[in-house]
Structure 1
Amino acid sequence: MVNIMKNLIRQAIFSLIIFWFSPLLIPFILTTEKEIITADIKRWAEVLNLPEQGLWMQLLVLLYKTQEFRNLYYYRLLKGNLNGRISMYLLKKFYPECPSLFLDSSCCIGAGLFIQHGFSTIIMADIGEQCWVNQQVTIGYKDKSGRPKIGNNVRITAGAKVLGNIQVGDNVTIGANSVVVKDVPNDCVVVGIPAAIIRRNGVKVEEKL
């Protein structure tokens, strides 16, 4: 009986929390960016093993549980139409984003970006689809020559730095604390300071960038 009561209380509290976050559905209803936000929801739900629920419920759970997703959500809304942007700006005061995660509004970010632990992370680059960025990552300018262009299915792990007017190919993994300042070809794993290729097309190698 005690366990049943505890479960009922937990469910009631969860329902109240979800109800509190429900106004954040308004920008989703109004925005022109539904398709790409839906792709983000599906990616995050898959990575985080969220229960099979309706799209709107998964969106609310993500907005409640992960501030990093909230940042991405606001970034998507900012790219959309005026109605979505206005409602986002009004609601943002009540549902703050992760303060240590910065997504530059001038970036073009493909669908399905997953941000794990957004602490002290800066993303100032054009990024492809289905990418993954960890904590304390900096992606951005080295000088006035330009910023990185990141391909599809790229994983940039904790503490890595990707800097300058460079191109990172598809299916690349950048190891923890690596510093990448040169182009990276497709299908590679790079590590180190400066970063070097240690695996290409699944085969161990030792190659400079």
Structure 2
Amino acid sequence: MGFFRFIFQDWKANKQNLKGKIFLMLFRIANFFARNRSYYILGIPYLIFYKVFIQWIFTLEIPWTVTIGKNFSLYHGQLVIMNNDVVIGDNCTIRHCTTIGVKQNADGTSGRAPILGNNVDVGSNVCIIGAITINDNVKIGSGAVVVKDVDEDCIAVGNPAAAKKINHKMNMKVMVGMFSVAL
């Protein structure tokens, strides 16, 4: 994949989302410098700019070391926090006020960061914490606290999140309190 194709790979997934386009372009450039050691020294001023601009202006804490697949969508991009080692697959969507991080062990060390598969749709105000895997084709409802693995083709809602298999043959609606998630 060429440099410009790499940088702009998320633009179609963020058609009406200028802030998402700008963030993802800046993220992809920073990610390029961080992953290509031969360009890392040249990229240090840019990486400093990225950290200040993204954290202070965009209110996002998404380090350039995060692995994000193609066609990533960031809706209402603010107050999203991710650990340095988070891995996100292709065609994923993250909404505002979401935390994806690690658990701190009793001895002060941190565990592994979460891994999100392909086609994962994360609602707003979600916490995904610990050495867990969210498999492919998962929807996580708003306000969920996910602390356990979620199998593929599931919807996860609640605190702590409970996962239910999605029946693709039916048009389902899952009601959680006053909120509904249409599938």
TM-score, normalised with respect to structure 1: 0.65
Q: What residue is the counterpart of 1:150 in the other structure?
A: 116
- Note if 1:106 corresponds to 2:68: no
> How far is the alpha carbon of 1:201 from its aligned partner?
3.7
Deviations 1:104-146 (A, max 9, x none): 2221111111111122111231100111000100011122121
Report the identity percentage.
Answer: 30
The alignment partner of 1:35 has SS state of helix
Seen in structure 2, the aligned counterparts of structure 1 residues 120 and 188 have a Cα distance that, compared at 3 Å, is: same
Between the aligned partners of 1:145 and 1:89, the Cα distance in structure 2 is 26
Q: Residues 71 and 101 of structure 1 are in contact (CA less than 8 Å); yes or no, is this contact kept in structure 2?
A: no
Q: Residues 30 and 50 of structure 2 are in contact (CA less than 8 Å); yes or no, is this contact kept in structure 1?
A: no
- Note if 1:185 corresponds to 2:155: no
Q: Residues 8 and 25 of structure 2 are in contact (CA less than 8 Å); yes or no, is this contact kept in structure 1?
A: no
How do residues 1-209 of structure 1 correspond to structure 2 at under 5 angstroms? 33-45=3-15, 48=16, 65-66=18-19, 68-81=20-33, 82=39, 85=43, 88=46, 96-97=53-54, 98-124=57-83, 125-143=86-104, 144-202=110-168
Deviations 1:167-208 (A, max 9, x none): 00011000000000000011111100110123424367x9xx
Count of aligned positions? 156
CA RMSD in angstroms comes to 2.9
Q: Residues 27 and 50 of structure 2 are in contact (CA less than 8 Å); yes or no, is this contact kept in structure 1?
A: no
> How far is the alpha carbon of 1:88 from its aligned partner?
4.2
Deviations 1:27-46 (A, max 9, x none): xxxxx63223232112212x
> How far is the alpha carbon of 1:69 from its aligned partner?
3.1
Per mean C-alpha deviation after superposition, the further-off stretch among 162-171 and 137-146 is: 137-146
TM-score, normalised with respect to structure 2: 0.73
- In the alignment, structure 2 segments of 5+ residues that lack a partner are 34-38, 105-109, 175-183
Between the aligned partners of 1:107 and 1:91, the Cα distance in structure 2 is 17
Higher helix share: 1
- Structure 1 runs (4+) deviating above 6 angstroms are none
- In the alignment, structure 1 segments of 5+ residues that lack a partner are 1-31, 49-61
> How far is the alpha carbon of 1:70 from its aligned partner?
2.5
Which protein has the larger Cα radius of gyration, Structure 1 or Structure 2?
Answer: 1
Q: Residues 153 and 172 of structure 1 are in contact (CA less than 8 Å); yes or no, is this contact kept in structure 2?
A: yes
